[in-house]
Amino acid sequence: MGSNSLYGPVDPAPDAGYTDAPPRMGFFTDTSVCIGCKACEVACKTWNAVPDDGFNLLGQSYDNTGGLSADSWRHVAFIEQPSRGSQAFLGLPTGPSSAPAANVVASQQVVPTGTEPGIPPAVDALAAAATAGTEFVGAGPKFHGAGTGFHGAGPEFLGMPGTDLPGRTDPAPRSDFRWLMMSNVCKHCTHAGCLDVCPTGALFRTEFGTVVVQDDICNGCGYCISGCPYGVIDRREGDGRAWKCTLCYDRLGDGLEPACAKACPTESIQFGELDELRERARARVEKLHAEGVASAQLYGESEDDGVGGDGAFFLLLDEPEVYGLPPDPIVPTRDLPHMWKRAGWAALTMAAAAVVAFAGRRP
């Protein structure tokens, strides 16, 4: 195992030992053209026979899935937020925005997905609440429970420190608005924490550079769950095994594109050779910047990030936190060589000490 295999840029399939591996395949999810139709969620479940995750109204805009889980391998996040420049409601008799407060209510919804650990309590909602108006943080009373009709959903109720909610605080009339949508999925990391810690070999690197769980080998130990820096992989209750996106490994083998990309009507989900997708994505960001969408940014595209780049990366229209994504994901196994080295030295030292001690008994 080369030192590169746990960190930094690498082509994962050859690195995993494939000779003549096909080009690395992946997803480029362009959220700037996502219309939130959720066809990806349905197509994924239909093709992969993933069970439903319960009929729960989450109150988090149009997101009633809540997040990625063992039973949701694609998840469309919906973020309603003020946004400077849109002026959608300029000149109307409006009051303050309800978005932060709605997100707080949504964050308190229990999401019984039938999976373990399932969806962390509304990570996305809280993240969205916290960033709903980073540009707007300012003075003034933050949130009027009675004034906005969110009875009982005040900050005290949340138990958060202070009396102010993070996010937009201006009680001024809301005049600007945008609705972000983003189809999230397993990132198929270059350095996949889940794979690195899997003790049974159930998780493996495919010839396409993707990461797949073999359900007939997985023993449900759950190490992979703590190994994933994105909180993607998850276990199904009753079955106990870990499940996640396979990037439709079975379809790829037959020369078909993954079900979600096939179903996406607006080509928000693009499937293809990763190198080509990265080029396309950079061009797209440039185009959006030229059109004045300054906030457009790529996420997971860089090989120099904490996971060596994602096989499934994104074009976002705001900071990753807004979408509930970790801003700086790092594969937990990054430090393994270092740790092993340390552990090795420690073991050697102990061994040496033991030898010395042992030797010391026989003067």
CA distances from 193 to 5, 57, 235, 273 (A): 11, 32, 16, 22
Which tokens in the block code for residue 96? 């303050």
Q: State the binding string over 119-158 for another protein (x if CB under 8 A, else -).
A: ---------------------------xxxxxxxx-----
CB-wise, 33 or 336, nearer to another protein?
A: 33
C-alpha span between 208 and 247 (Å, rounded): 10
Query: Nearest distance from residue 36's CB to another protein, in Å?
Result: 5
Query: Nearest distance from residue 158's CB to another protein, in Å?
Result: 14
Query: Nearest distance from residue 269's CB to another protein, in Å?
Result: 12
Q: Do 326 and 42 touch, CB atoms closer than 8 A?
A: no
Q: State the binding string over 181-220 for another protein (x if CB under 8 A, else -).
A: x---------------------------------------
C-alpha span between 67 and 107 (Å, rounded): 12
Q: Are strands 312-316 and 25-30 parallel, antiparallel or unpaired?
A: parallel
C-alpha span between 311 and 210 (Å, rounded): 7
Q: Does the protein bind another protein through residue 65 (CB under 8 A)?
A: yes
Q: Does the protein bind another protein through residue 266 (CB under 8 A)?
A: yes
Span interacting with another protein, options 17-25, 37-45, 194-202, 250-258, rule CB under 8 A = 37-45
Q: Which residues have CB under 8 Å from 232's CB, separation 6+?
A: 68, 186, 187, 194, 244, 245
Q: What are residue 306's DSSP bridge partners? A: 330
CB-wise, 99 or 281, nearer to another protein?
A: 99
Query: Nearest distance from residue 218's CB to another protein, in Å?
Result: 24
Within residues 319-338, the interface with another protein by CB under 8 A covers none
- Supply φ then ψ for residue 72, to 5 degrees: -145, 105
Q: Does the protein bind another protein through residue 339 (CB under 8 A)?
A: no
Query: Nearest distance from residue 82's CB to another protein, in Å?
Result: 8
CB-wise, 46 or 219, nearer to another protein?
A: 46
Residue carrying the six token digits 């457009």: 296
Q: Does the protein bind another protein through residue 83 (CB under 8 A)?
A: no
C-alpha span between 178 and 192 (Å, rounded): 34
Q: Which residues have CB under 8 Å from 359's CB, separation 6+?
A: none
What letter represents residue 100's amino acid?
P
- Candidate list 14, 16, 56, 303; residue touching another protein; CB under 8 A: 56
Binding site for another protein (CB under 8 A): 33, 35-39, 41-42, 45-46, 51-57, 59, 61-62, 64-65, 80, 82, 86, 88-99, 101-102, 105-106, 109, 146-153, 174, 177-181, 265-267
